[in-house]
Amino acid sequence: MSTEQTRELTDRLTLAYVAGDAAAIAALLAQDVVHHPPESLGAGPHAGRAQTAAALALTPGGGALQAGSVEREVALALADGDSALVKVRVRARTADGADYRNEVVLISTWRDGEVVRIDEFGDTLNDADLGVVKDVPAWP
Amino acid sequence: MTTDQTRALTERLAQARAAGDAAAILPLLTDDVVLVVPPSLGETDRPSLQASDPDGVALGLSGTAVHAFMHAETIRREVQQTLVDGDVSVQRIHMTGEFKAGGRYDNHYVWVFHWRDGRIHRVEEYPDTLRYAQMNLTRVGETGSPTS
């Protein structure tokens, strides 16, 4: 794919992600897509369109954040060939009423107009500190 | 800067980082360069992870600061993906190694480099920060604060 094709499709994916729209996200994913959330969370990788779309629509925190409080703002977007990066600033209220802020970085890899891989990064220690991640997996 | 210019300089930076060569990294940094780490790491006792002077940023990018607590010969940094677009470049890196005190280091990073006139003026580091707590380098609840 050309950089401009990737950029255009990534813009669509980002709009869907910012809106938390699982159906719109799923429409841009390949059937065999794999989503790699931060390994420390012990929650992935997610394989397949449905699992990946659901995970991205919930990110971050899932039910640990108050419904309707999540705001996402795109801070950086770039594309290179069949890969793209988006940095999104997230603000929300936790279930306990605390102010939640984080930055999520998504690196997507595309093939024939669909996402085949997403690598997700964020300040996971911040999530644990704020109780958004409650059960911290042991490692290794 | 053009994407091609940034790509060539990013490759030069990657070679210097792979060699752990802070002196080779330094000419690639502006005088006002900043290294930004996630907020949960901003109050630790490891100031080499966050710096606002060229020497400190060069040291941080060289990766040699970890030699204080890791066996240098065991450290591997695999560049898994590089993206370049205009005056921004990105590298996704998998780092592994062995602690001197025992145990294995294993973490994934994204580094975002913002270039201006052939030099980097801003570096953003995105590690999996909770991994530090899992490897007993910090603790949950010890340093966290919301992003400003």
pLDDT per position as a tens digit, A55-110: 998 755 556 788 788 888 999 999 999 999 999 998 989 888 888 888 999 999 99
Tokens of B84: 């370049």
Residues of B with CB under 8 A from a CB of A: 3, 38-41, 81-86, 88, 90, 92, 104, 106, 108-110, 112, 126-135, 138, 140-141, 143-148
Whether pLDDT at B45 is above 50: no
Question: B85, B87, B132, B145: best mutation site toward chain A, by most A Cβ within 10 Å?
Answer: B85
Show the domain range for B66.
3-139
Domains identified in chain B, total number: 1
Show me where the domains of chain A are located: 3-129
Of A7-16, A35-44, A56-65, the range with the lowest mean pLDDT is: A56-65
Strands B76-85 and B29-36: unpaired
CA–CA dist A52, A60 (Å, integer): 13
Q: Provide the CA B34 distance to its chain's centre, in angstroms.
A: 12
Task: State the pLDDT confidence band at B105, using cuts at 50, 70 and 90.
Answer: very high
Question: What pLDDT is recorded for position B47?
Answer: 36
Q: Please tell me the number of Cα atoms within 13 Å of A64 on its side-chain side.
A: 17
Are A76 and A101 spatial neighbours (Cβ–Cβ below 8 Å)?
no
Question: What pLDDT is recorded for position A60?
Answer: 55
Question: What pLDDT is recorded for position B52?
Answer: 75
Thinking of the domain A3-129, which architecture would CATH place it in? Roll (3.10)
Q: Could you tell me if residue B16 is inside a domain? A: yes
Nearest CB to A101: which of B135, B140, B147? B147
Q: Could you tell me if residue B105 is inside a domain? A: yes
Whether pLDDT at B24 is above 80: yes
Q: Could you tell me if residue B147 is inside a domain? A: no
Q: What percent of chain B has pLDDT above 70?
A: 87
Nearest CA in chain B to A90: B147
Nearest CB to B133: which of A39, A101, A125? A125
Whether pLDDT at B148 is above 50: no
**Helix (H), strand (E) at residue A107:** strand A99-111
Q: What is the CATH number of the domain that holds B52?
A: 3.10.450.50
B93 vs A contacts (CB less than 8 Å): none
Q: Could you tell me if residue B145 is inside a domain? A: no
Give me Rg for the CA atoms of chain B.
Answer: 15
pLDDT in tens, A102-140: 899 999 999 999 999 999 999 998 888 888 877 777 776
pLDDT in tens, B60-102: 899 888 888 899 999 999 999 999 999 999 999 999 999 999 9
pLDDT in tens, A41-54: 888 899 999 999 99
Question: What pLDDT is recorded for position A70?
Answer: 86
CA–CA dist A117, B41 (Å, integer): 28
Question: What pLDDT is recorded for position B137?
Answer: 79
Helical spans, DSSP H, in A45-140: 49-58, 124-129
